[in-house]
Amino acid sequence: MTNQFDGRIALDVRHNRGIWSEFSTRFERPEAEQRWGRSEVRWGLFGVPEGELHALGQIAGADVVELACGMGHLCAQLGRLGARPVGVDLSAEQLDGAAELQGHFGESFPLVEASAEEVPLRSSSFDVVVSEYGAAPWCRPGRWLAEAARLLRPCGRLVFLTNSVLAGLCVPDEGGHAGTELLRPQPVLRDVEWPGGGIEHHPGHGDWVRELRRAGFVVEALHELYAPEGAVTPENYEVVTAGWARNWPAEDLWVAQLS
């Protein structure tokens, strides 16, 4: 594992790192192991198959960097599809989990401890940047999108998953599932500190398009993810119920190309 931290990271990034280090020791390992064992890439709380969305494009033979890789299940799955993945995460504890799971599954790829806002990897060295509930909610949009653009080769692909704006508007402050009322003004979500939680960023769709274009991307798709028929409410994440997500999109999967 490469540790290139130099103490210059922003205060909100430090705050989020503390939160994630604690989560990883309390909750994450068993679920990460289960996800590592999955043979196919699935997106989001309700596991929408990549085979339905085709968000990732050509993966075999691609150099892929995952920003905020956590315990690395997506890197592992992409490696099995023939990619050369590199996982970047802010939390040493998350990366320790990833390293342990690499040993457990007998698979290996580089892990780099860094913020997605400042990645110590060479410019123009990846075909795909992917981020699953990682950089988008936890990093400042302008900062991490500029890094994603720097890391990609010309015409490289960016694929990222985050909570839907609508879910962000409807989840109660005190925790629990989203309801059917709008609980806050939308601009509040751009930089929001949840009580007892981290500092998150949930720009509206128009803001995302503007930020993506500013960083040099062209939007190819925005897949709004609903719960499929028969889906059950996830036990570990109190964000939306399956019933809610059958009616409204729970998550946004963005696909963009560097112009």
Ligand X SMILES: C[S@@+](CC[C@H](N)C(=O)[O-])C[C@H]1O[C@@H](n2cnc3c(N)ncnc32)[C@H](O)[C@@H]1O
Nearer of residues 134 and 156 to ligand X, judged by Cβ: 134
- Residue with tokens 């028929």, as numbered in its chain: 229
Gap between the Cα atoms of 161 and 225, Å rounded = 10
Work out whether 132 is an interface residue with ligand X (CB under 6 A).
yes
CA angle 149, 215, 70 (to 5 degrees): 50
Work out whether 91 is an interface residue with ligand X (CB under 6 A).
yes
Work out whether 129 is an interface residue with ligand X (CB under 6 A).
no
Nearer of residues 3 and 247 to ligand X, judged by Cβ: 3
Gap between the Cα atoms of 37 and 33, Å rounded = 6
Token code pair at residue 20: 């994630």
Residue nearest to ligand X (CB): 70
DSSP codes of every residue in 117-140? TS--S-TT-EEEEEEESSHHHHS-
Smallest gap from residue 13 Cβ to ligand X (A): 5
Gap between the Cα atoms of 23 and 16, Å rounded = 11
Nearby residues of 90 by Cβ (< 8 Å), 6 or more positions away = 9, 13, 16, 17, 20, 68, 113, 114, 115, 116, 138
The interface region with ligand X, picked from 45-53, 109-117, 162-170, 201-209 by CB under 6 A, is 109-117
Phi, psi of 130 (to 5 degrees): -125, 150
CA distances for 66 relative to 39, 63, 134, 241, angstroms: 18, 10, 9, 28
Work out whether 126 is an interface residue with ligand X (CB under 6 A).
no
Alpha helices, DSSP H, located in the chain: 11-23, 29-36, 50-53, 73-80, 92-105, 135-138, 141-151, 165-170, 205-214, 242-247
Interacting positions 12-71 with ligand X (CB under 6 A): 13, 16, 20, 68-70
Smallest gap from residue 216 Cβ to ligand X (A): 20
Smallest gap from residue 181 Cβ to ligand X (A): 26
Indicate which single residue of 5, 105, 133, 248 sits in contact with ligand X (rule: CB under 6 A): 133
Smallest gap from residue 94 Cβ to ligand X (A): 4
Indicate which single residue of 76, 77, 79, 94 sits in contact with ligand X (rule: CB under 6 A): 94
Nearer of residues 104 and 247 to ligand X, judged by Cβ: 104
Nearer of residues 206 and 245 to ligand X, judged by Cβ: 245
Nearer of residues 44 and 249 to ligand X, judged by Cβ: 44
Work out whether 117 is an interface residue with ligand X (CB under 6 A).
yes
Smallest gap from residue 1 Cβ to ligand X (A): 14
Gap between the Cα atoms of 108 and 110, Å rounded = 7
Nearer of residues 127 and 147 to ligand X, judged by Cβ: 147
Residues of the shown chain interacting with ligand X in the complex, contacts defined by CB under 6 A: 13, 16, 20, 68-70, 74, 89-91, 94, 115-117, 132-134, 138-139
